[in-house]
Chains A and B, each alone.
Chain A
């Protein structure tokens, strides 16, 4: 195994980690507000197709990213409307969002299948920093998006733990009636959280179709949305831990196509089961740990809130 393959692996770990982290961070924000959104896969697909389309038509990666973020947020707001405002079941609504997103994106992206991408984020040019051996390549050899993801993770952590907005968001997700009686706007907070979740999933989709695997095809998200969902639980709803998990799961995804290069005899397909297996293991561990204390999951996760219920 030479230096080049190793650097390739590290770059790929960060790329996959970024993809997963963006989507998982979005889901974390939604879930922290008490809304389970199983539509991540669909939101990613919508963001992906939107970014690819704008990229091809305009050649501007930033515009493509912006549109993907907006499409993701708007698309997630269907879930917000149906599950939060109207109070339909979050599980059903979220799954329908995935089916809808995968379906609509395939529909809209029909003419773009196997086209070359019109825009992509290039690796950063940081001058001398790029020349540092090793680090220069795999830390500074990335595009701007992984850095953006890192910044978003830190911002999310800060907002959740150190600001009033974060306090309200967490309160709404723990006990809607408590938050409501303290004067916090439950429905509005949840709607915004769901939309932000969609925005980040859309961003993740854009990163996928513009940078990680440039191009568009039906089903290009390939179950990564489910891994992002798993990641939120694996990381116990904490932005930092989810980040570590994203690197771990991203590492597994990056290893998959390289196993044989490294001379490992295990089937890469079996390796690809690991994120899900690890998540189930983490869930069991969490539930055993929380026997005598409240669970790590937001207490109101998945429940609808209506004030005047009598």
Chain B
């Protein structure tokens, strides 16, 4: 194969889902032997486009070619056979299977000799520097190890085009560096690697070229990564200068703490420590930001504060009274509002209607005898929708019919309705469009100026730098650094997020 024929080429891809156009004329051209970054904001259509290439979705319009030949995949099996393998963000591994069994699932002889498969898997792993034990069951492995198994599966299928969907999101920095080496080794082996990301530093470090998507369409294709810098990339991705529209007017430091977490530790189901010895304080009217790579303990910390997860040790106090033993209900009643990372499924109940979701916090006080006062809840929900500009078609339609921005406005509005003392907001603007982001940020800033203490957990560094009074960085379950957003830089915070202290 000569280097001029693209390993994979997607031309003018359109893909519509009910209510959403995920791809609107997207293009991508990937050369063999190269690492190609696909960049874009959440919702830019990266994952959909990759699913089209991998045969998971069929495009409504457009063509897919591999090594110059046009393809029409109707299922992943065909794409895999043609040499396109995707490593999804959520791993598609079978926890009760061993590493070797998971790999063998991707292709094996009819009769499976356990030992020989394990040997071949080990051999392949060695060739690309993927340290793993083929006889171990996957549920016992760390996230980084599981990713290596996914990559092994792809190599086992002799993938010519390997798609990695935000592969570093679940990795520790050292694991990410390791991944970089593996990716380079695979490219040197003549394979084309598609590396989906939204982190500039990784892209410049690992990749050769980059394609940028925005709003489902390609806005820049096959740019050499040397030509990319933060400003240019942000401009391409967002379509305008990356000025965060909402900015906080910082007040003088506030004395009165409303949320105090002391030496908090959390373990997951398998007994692995996810939060280790975290202490933090949020003052009245203060916004405290928490930055960190996904999976470094932000979610369990937020859940533990809200009472959805239990603390192994440590204390939490809200407005001076200890709440670590209290139920989620009691914590909410005591003035704790929580906007969880999973809006639909945790913060909102998908099958219930808009009113039923709006009353999730307040239904207990809106009753006549054992019955819920339906006119009162209806009025409450309409007021809420009006105040927070939630566009609702039908109030008795399932909540899932609302768009992401409207969902979040409803959720945030509901949480703030009772004049809480503290708001814990986890990824409150993730996946929202530009107006949606601005609206949520506006609400957070206004409320904090009115005295609300906010713990803002985000992966969006710009947002954190613009909104926070103080910025904490979480890494491997610990708070590893604290910055003053006015005096620090992206680079400085980024280094702390990567674990360099």
Measured between beta carbons, the chain B residues less than 8 angstroms from A265 are: none
Task: Decide if A175 touches B94 in the complex (CB within 8 Å).
Answer: yes
B112 touching A183 by the CB < 8 A rule? no
The answer for the CA separation of A179 and B81 in the assembled complex, in Å, is 15
Q: State whether the Cβ of B111 lies closer than 8 Å to any Cβ in chain A.
A: yes
A171 near B97 (CB under 8 angstroms)? Answer: yes
Q: How many Å from the CB of B282 to the closest CB on chain A?
A: 35
B262 close to chain A: CB less than 8 A: no
Mostly, the B contact residues are loop
- The segment from A162-170, A197-205, A224-232, A279-287 found at the interface with B is A162-170
Q: Whole-angstrom distance between the alpha carbons of A307 and B73 in the complex?
A: 14
B92 near A163 with CB under 8 A, answer no
CB of B203 to closest CB in A, whole Å: 25
Q: Which residue in chain A gives the minimum CB-CB distance to B22?
A: A310
> Cβ of B247 < 8 Å from any Cβ of A?
no
Q: A299 vs B139: C-alpha distance in the bound complex, in angstroms?
A: 13
- B77 A308 Cβ-Cβ under 8 A: no
Cβ of B343 within 8 Å of any chain A Cβ, yes or no, is no
B270 close to chain A: CB less than 8 A: yes
Give the shortest distance, in Å, between B173 (CB) and chain A (any CB). 28
- The verdict on A174 contacting B94 (CB below 8 Å), with A163-B111, A181-B88 known, is yes
B108 contacts A174, CB within 8 Å?
A: no
Q: Which of B34-42, B98-106, B403-411 is found at the contact surface with chain A?
A: B98-106
A175-B93 Cα distance, complex, nearest whole Å? 8
Known contacts A164-B108, A164-B112, A310-B17; A174/B96 CB under 8 A: yes
Chain A's interface size range is 20 to 34
Which residue from chain A places its CB closest to the CB of B103 in the assembled complex? Answer: A182
- Are A167 and B112 in contact (CB-based, < 8 A)? yes
Smallest Cβ distance from A162 to chain B, in angstroms? 6
- B76:A164 contact, CB within 8 angstroms: no
The residues of B that contact A293 with a CB separation of less than 8 Å are 139
Contacts of A164 in B (CB 8 A): 104, 108-112
**Min C-beta distance of B72 to chain A, whole Å:** 16
A292 partner residues in chain B, CB cutoff 8 A: 269-271
Q: A171-B94, A292-B270 are in contact. Are A179 and B105 (CB under 8 A)?
A: yes
Does A177 touch B at the CB level, under 8 Å? yes
Smallest CB gap from A173: residue in B: B94
Asked if A184 CB lies within 8 Å of chain B CBs, one says yes
Q: Is the CB of B270 within 8 A of A178?
A: no
Q: CB of B86 within 8 A of chain A?
A: yes
Which residue of the partner chain, among B105, B113, B269, contacts A171 with CB atoms under 8 Å? B105
Known A162-B111, A294-B96; 10 more pairs at CB < 8 Å: A164-B108, A167-B105, A171-B94, A174-B94, A174-B95, A175-B94, A175-B95, A178-B92, A182-B80, A184-B77
